[in-house]
Amino acid sequence: MENFGASLSTYFKALLVMIPYTYDTRVKGWFLLDNYIPTFVCSVIYLLIVCLGTKHMKNKQPFYCRGGLVVYKLALTLLSLCMFCELVTGVWEGRYNFFCQGTCSAGESHMKIIHVLWWYYFSKLLEFMVTFFFILPKNHHQTTVLIWWFVMNWVHCGLSYFGATLNSFILVLMYSYCGLSCVPSMHPYLWWKRYITRGQLVQFVLTIIQTSCAVIWPCTFPLGWLYVQIRYMISLIALFTNFYIQTYKKGSSWRKEHQNGSVTALENSVKRKQRKD
């Protein structure tokens, strides 16, 4: 949590340098965007729940809200699917340039993208609810809602579509998996969990490539935000790579050693029995 807070503070300092010059009035008056206080309060409450809830559940048995979690994950899956489809069609209709797309260069298509990205930002607030479900089974997650409040106020279109589009697709897979994992009969078919993490890593790499293209071939999209995006993606790659290694590589080694140990113990037992006979 401390490392996450320090990283977030660094990003905000970089963002605040650019804010006075790039505020976009097209979202003026939109729900939750005019005032930072609601987003900040939600973030503080989230952090308190994570810290206090984790301590409270430390010596308690996990408690799972399967019914509520299935409904919640299904709703987020459908929302992510809708956002992905709307972003793809908006980008297609606006004939967005992959290498660099300015914030005011696609006419009416920009407004469609802005509306979808607002829902993307709002979905990050909805994800705070997952804390309740995951603290009970003694787990928690971190979100990017604070950063997206800044994005929605200053660079809510143009190149901002790319990461949100990829992430919406990944979220469809992730929430589908999480929802299905709550159904015991589906467990034998959920072998693809590790591929979701791989997909997230690919998403971060592709975002860095696309953002780097905009740095090399610049347009009207603010360069400062591109540098912040690249730095943020690199931090996520480090975070998710560590998670992947800890969860799958070391975990697989442990299971293999455990299984080998069990097989060796069984063989020794059989040999001892044969000698007694």
pLDDT in tens, 52-110: 766 655 665 555 556 677 888 889 999 999 999 999 999 998 888 888 888 766 567 78
DSSP assignment of 9-49: HHHHHHHHHHHHHH--GGGTT-TTTS-SHHHHHHHHHHHHH
Q: Which two tokens stand for residue 8?
A: 């977030």
> How high is the pLDDT of residue 185?
87
Helix (H, G, I), strand (E, B) or coil at 129: helix
> How high is the pLDDT of residue 157?
78
Q: Which two tokens stand for residue 49?
A: 């729940």
Q: Are 37 and 150 in contact (CB under 8 A)?
A: no
Give 106's DSSP letter: S
* Among the listed residues 140, 158, 118, 159, the one whose alpha carbon sits nearest the alpha carbon of residue 34: 118
CA distances from 76 to 69, 103, 179, 234 (A): 11, 28, 10, 26
The Cα 139–Cα 132 span in angstroms is 9
> How high is the pLDDT of residue 253?
45
The Cα 197–Cα 243 span in angstroms is 9
* Among the listed residues 81, 99, 79, the one whose alpha carbon sits nearest the alpha carbon of residue 162: 99
Amino acid making up residue 56: H
> How high is the pLDDT of residue 273?
44
The CA angle 107-111-113, to the nearest 5 degrees, is 110
> How high is the pLDDT of residue 261?
41
- Residue ranges, the chain, pLDDT below 70: 1-24, 53-67, 104-107, 130-143, 251-277
What pTM value is reported for the model?
0.76
> How high is the pLDDT of residue 56?
59
Number of domains making up the chain: 1
Q: Give 152: exposed, middle or buried? Use CB within 10 Å, 0-12, 13-18, 19+.
A: buried
The Cα 136–Cα 65 span in angstroms is 8
Q: Which two tokens stand for residue 3?
A: 């490392």
* Among the listed residues 141, 196, 143, the one whose alpha carbon sits nearest the alpha carbon of residue 166: 196
Amino acid making up residue 33: L
Please give the span between the terminal C-alpha atoms of the chain, in angstroms, as a whole number. 60
Q: Which two tokens stand for residue 274?
A: 């044969």
The residue range of the domain holding 26 is 2-276
> How high is the pLDDT of residue 130?
65
> How high is the pLDDT of residue 237?
93
